[in-house]
Amino acid sequence: MAKQAPQSDPAQDAPEVSAPKHSAVGLPAVGHTVRMAAEQMGARRAVSTLLKVNQHTGFDCPGCAWPEPDKPHAVEFCENGAKAVAEEATERRIRAEFFAAHPVAELAERSGYWLGQQGRLTQPMLLDEGATHYTPVSWDDAFALIAEELRALDTPDAAAFYTSGRTSNEAAFAYQLFARRLGTNNLPDCSNMCHESSGSALTETLGVGKGSVSLQDLYQADLIIVAGQNPGTNHPRMLAALERAKRAGATIVSVNPLPEAGLERFKNPQNVRGVVGNGTKLTDLFLQIRLGGDLALFRAVNRMILEQDGVDRAFVAEHCHGFEEFEAQALKTDRDEVLAATGLPWEQIEELGRLVLASRKVIVCWAMGLTQHKHSVPTIREVVNFLLLRGNVGRPGAGVCPVRGHSNVQGDRTMGIFERPSAAFLDALGAEFDFEPPREHGHDAVDTIRAMRDGRVKVFLAMGGNFVAATPDTEVTEAAMRRCRLTVHVSTKLNRSHLVTGARALILPTLGRTDRDTTAAGDQFVSVEDSMGQVHASRGRLRPPADDLLSETAIVCRVAQAVFGPEDSVPWAEFAADYDTLRDRIARVVPGFEDYNAKLHRPGGFTLPHGPRDSRTFPTATGKANFTVNPLTAPEVPPGRLLLQTLRSHDQYNTTIYGLDDRYRGIKGGRRVVLVNPADAAELGLTEGGYTDLVSEWTDGSERRAPHFRVVHYPVARGGAAAYYPETNVLVPLDSTADISNTPTSKAVVVRFEPDSGPVA
């Protein structure tokens, strides 16, 4: 039997701190997985459900986007994936009585952890203008209210349609079709806060804004560089791929401001060595780089390659553009600037250079550590320069590997969730559905907040996610949300975004990945695209939390019917009843999805085409892979300040908080901690175990304060600090964004430390 939901928030006043771990997974991870799954689902339900995760006839994990191998293990999930499944497949339920007992103002004082632990949402709820409590509303009345507000807008651009990366391909395609049928490209999504910098840089340089490698490439690589990523917590199944690569002879280099247990040593619970032995040492060379120093590091190595004649001249001559300009700049790279930006000994940089020159097949993997800086796009372009120099694109065992977060964030973009769609996509969409899509670019996530703040967006619809907890500048974002006429959230679980609302608000509960989806046409399934461009089916098997719960696809189609009427030329009712009909239309709009339905019935699905990987063809403006010239830059931090990065604990996934521990970093029972190098702490007068307020500094002069953080001495790179989001999102200025991509700079927040103002209520 599942454990009951907590009645009160657990105390977080005195987190326990111990030494960080130096290995990941193993028996402790198995124990935590079993305990959480049993608490949420009960033992029998937990076993039967988890055995269907990431199986060909089961459902795709609602956690990360790491791909499945061609032949999945019987147990093809990780600790954090099991937590994500347990949170969704929980037996706990939120019904109307819960909302009657808890006014919105009271719920708004609860932690995100407590809210998420209350269980699955089961019926549509309305917060009417001036009301203190959510009350039940029928599906038809909810859809009529949305239609009323949308039709009352002066312009379709006064509405914004946000998408979380959990959303299926089918729901995402229907959602963007609805928004564009309405007349707007305001389609912000979670990628705007994460890998937008990757997409921007890769599209410019290679012509495709996705990674170019497969799992087979990882297994064949000579050298794998993992930069700005913590797979032990964020993508644990990646560790098994790295272990296999390591055993095949690969060298692994980790580049990160913090040592991370998962990259030090992996104890694979699926083999004896991982259970009773010492596991596998993964990292051969750890470069503890300063925050934001990655561009300088790759520039320095690029100069070494040029000086030691390590360039693949034939590849560059045949497939690349802009080499001469790049070479001229790279050869001028100043060693002292590199040392200042990276904080690394020159000997370590030279060692990386030697490893690169000794390796024919090189892969670079990265995540938020590279994408959330002002100079993130130039940094990733420099990574591409690095790979192009030695022909490491379009070669087995080599390429770019941006490791995406949420499970279908890449698929959503493929389906058209993008505020700046290509003309080709809009042409195909308009031709298929016989309408003229809007051509003016819409708002991304940051611009949506600005537009709500300024009164230009009045209706906000969110397909999943927890927008106010995922975005920067919390006080500004929440004030912006409250200016809306209507806010709508399609959700499986309660979160803070349901409590920071417009004048009126709707919560629309929906089916999750684990739930059986049955319509008048029979059992339905959806599809997703993983981080390596593999598309496969996902079939939920559990009885839904409520009999009249609707899927995301059905909700989108029902809203569209309410807005456009039953005579609309788009067959919304048909799409909602039979997803095959929707996929048939997708197949005629989105390249690579021809014979979509037939391909999904193959075990493991199908792989989307990728010109740079498949044939060394580059659909860029020049028709070739582009070398770029990127000014060498790094964050500047005034004396007496540190550069803060926000990050996840091991007990969270994005904004979902599973627990209050960060096991690998030695933190237990609390999240308001700030990790500081002991030498920096001594210079700033910060005592281990003491409490402090974090105050960020930005050009607008506004005070952004995160109070009452316990100081933890930790082996962070000098000049930097780290703390968990969403608690520290309040410190990230809305207007501090990456050049080109407009991604919030959550890994580069200048902070000062002020006396503790006391515990947070």
- Whole-number percent of the chain with pLDDT over 70: 99
* Amino acid at site 116: G
pLDDT, mean of residues 347-366: 99
Are the C-beta atoms of residues 712 and 667 closer than 8 Å to each other?
yes
Mean of the per-residue pLDDT values of the chain: 95
Q: Is the pLDDT of residue 63 over 90?
A: no
Angle formed at CA 233 by CA 228 and CA 238, multiple of 5 degrees:
75
Are the C-beta atoms of residues 747 and 386 closer than 8 Å to each other?
no
For residue 627, give the nearest of 185, 231, 308, 305 by alpha carbon.
305
Locate the domains of the chain by residue range.
23-88, 93-192+409-602, 196-403+621-626, 642-755
> What is the tens place of the pLDDT at every residue in 69-91?
888 887 777 888 888 888 999 99
For residue 85, give the nearest of 122, 117, 59 by alpha carbon.
59
The pLDDT-based confidence of 274 (bands split at 50, 70, 90) is low
Give the architecture (CATH level 2) of 642-755. Beta Barrel (2.40)
Give the architecture (CATH level 2) of 93-192+409-602. 3-Layer(aba) Sandwich (3.40)
Q: Is the pLDDT of residue 722 over 90?
A: yes
Q: Is the pLDDT of residue 170 over 70?
A: yes
Output the six-digit token pair for 502.
Answer: 């417009």
Predicted pLDDT at 90:
93
Predicted pLDDT at 276:
66
What's the rounded Cα separation, in Å, for the pair 2 and 636? 50
196-403+621-626: CATH topology is Dimethylsulfoxide Reductase; domain 2 (3.40.228)
pLDDT, mean of residues 458-484: 98
> What is the tens place of the pLDDT at every residue in 27-41?
787 787 878 888 888
Predicted pLDDT at 272:
64
Predicted pLDDT at 289:
99
Q: Is the pLDDT of residue 460 over 90?
A: yes
Residues 6+ apart with CB under 8 A from 415: 169, 172, 173, 176, 586, 590
Output the six-digit token pair for 183.
Answer: 């007349």
Output the six-digit token pair for 718.
Answer: 């000098």
Report the side by side order of strands in the sheet with 159-163.
135-136, 125-127, 504-509, 486-491, 459-463, 159-163
Burial of 56 (0-12, 13-18, 19+ CB in 10 A): middle
HSE, side-chain direction, 13 A CA sphere, residue 295: 26
The pLDDT-based confidence of 215 (bands split at 50, 70, 90) is very high
Q: Is the pLDDT of residue 506 over 90?
A: yes
For residue 392, give the nearest of 603, 225, 233 by alpha carbon.
225
Strands 265-267 and 24-25: parallel
Q: Is the pLDDT of residue 213 over 70?
A: yes
What's the rounded Cα separation, in Å, for the pair 148 and 544? 29
> What is the tens place of the pLDDT at every residue in 650-687?
999 999 999 999 999 999 999 999 999 999 999 999 99
> What is the tens place of the pLDDT at every residue in 104-118?
999 999 999 999 999
> What is the tens place of the pLDDT at every residue in 411-431?
999 999 999 999 999 999 999
Predicted pLDDT at 271:
77
What's the rounded Cα separation, in Å, for the pair 446 and 473? 10
Predicted pLDDT at 565:
96
Q: Is 117 left (phi over 0), alpha (psi -120 to 50) or beta?
A: alpha
Lowest mean pLDDT among 29-43, 223-237, 462-476: 29-43
What's the rounded Cα separation, in Å, for the pair 86 and 378? 39
